[in-house]
Structure 1
């Protein structure tokens, strides 16, 4: 097991970054976690600061060099990018990749998105934020010299189970899911993204230069409704179909993505993943163990 090695985790107060930190704390208490956040005084950051072996680091992609200098050597980096108004996912990731190569990082884990299973390497899709992540993957491979300068692991999660929430946003998601029709939609728990990232840092030789699509279940809306009813004893929270249609109309990229779910769709090998990581949650397990729903 690694001892006193530093892992820089971006998006530390977000769902994926938070899941990585939790998984590292549970599996590898000897790692020192550098939790990168834009606001170290936020409630989420302060909660992280109270955890053992965790240092909250304030900054972003514009302030990386001083962070690497102050905390060197950094053994591993977990990188997550998010859509924003400027569409700057590449601007978030590329400076981090450059600084990581420059400073001899021993494993760079980038969380991307699945784009059709084995086709993901060559299939950016017509969904803008999927295509951005594909370009980041290509940049990572190039700058790391295909993993010879800096080993990497690319995690490609599918649609988050965590989108199912009891509030209006969750109902809107379910309305859009219903619009996919009879075609199954692959889903993954963000908890499991954290587990796979932690596995990579704990056993870098087994994850060196791998690209892994992540999913824990595959269900169409009718199957999802049944799993929810059987597990929670109540109906899946939904709203009117026109709400989902309206969201897809107003947010063009959302409409493009859900159309892609219907025509193409994700392609993770769930059976193989479960052999590699038996803790992988299906939807029923996620509802009982990790969701915000209660019976």
Structure 2
């Protein structure tokens, strides 16, 4: 049966999610891999990176900037973040109408099991690893059942995994489902780039180069460079630099590291080079970000 296409009802999900949000930012829930998202004020365009996940917005709006692409994902949309991509994001929210949503991590074991149960589909087209999708009635109902679990520990323990499976299943059958299917297909350029990104995120503190990354995923260096940039909008070493800088910002603003300590911990050999790269990317020096950080930063 095809998905329903009735209009999204913003107030219903927002009214149920609002009482669960106790602070701005990303907040863990009783369900592993599911986080609450809230913001009671707008935020200007700033660099960030989501882990592979579905970002479901029930109220408010966000605008993402990935290379030349502009991605609007607001109330009644979910963002498929199939790969961890550095991008820039702007948040539109206010104290009277805060941004509210959920983040559901992509469990690759669960995803693989679901894909194995769906009819096989072959496509040679490279899917978009980051795209916004309008919620249909099926997705809205599945998100509603997932929210039920967040306020009921017994229901979360008994039914939580099933509710997450429902949400992922609906996304797999949606218009951007190919981006999730090909993640676990283990063939083609898309899954190879995903494998390379997983390796980068595990070993970003080490000295890496394009040849070694390409060899790891059984591609020539030129072929790897082409498909990596096509997928992420960045050359491999540009991606590595931004990954290190984003990790360093978290160390500075969330863990209170000193600038030189953060630089070394993410793989920089020179603290001065780190400071120059940091200011060029974020528009502020690492020391400024560290001094401006508050316990509520996220």
Give me the TM-score of the superposition, normalised by structure 2: 0.31
Q: Greater relative contact order: 1 or 2 (C-alpha under 8 angstroms, separation 6 or more)? A: 1
Give me the TM-score of the superposition, normalised by structure 1: 0.31
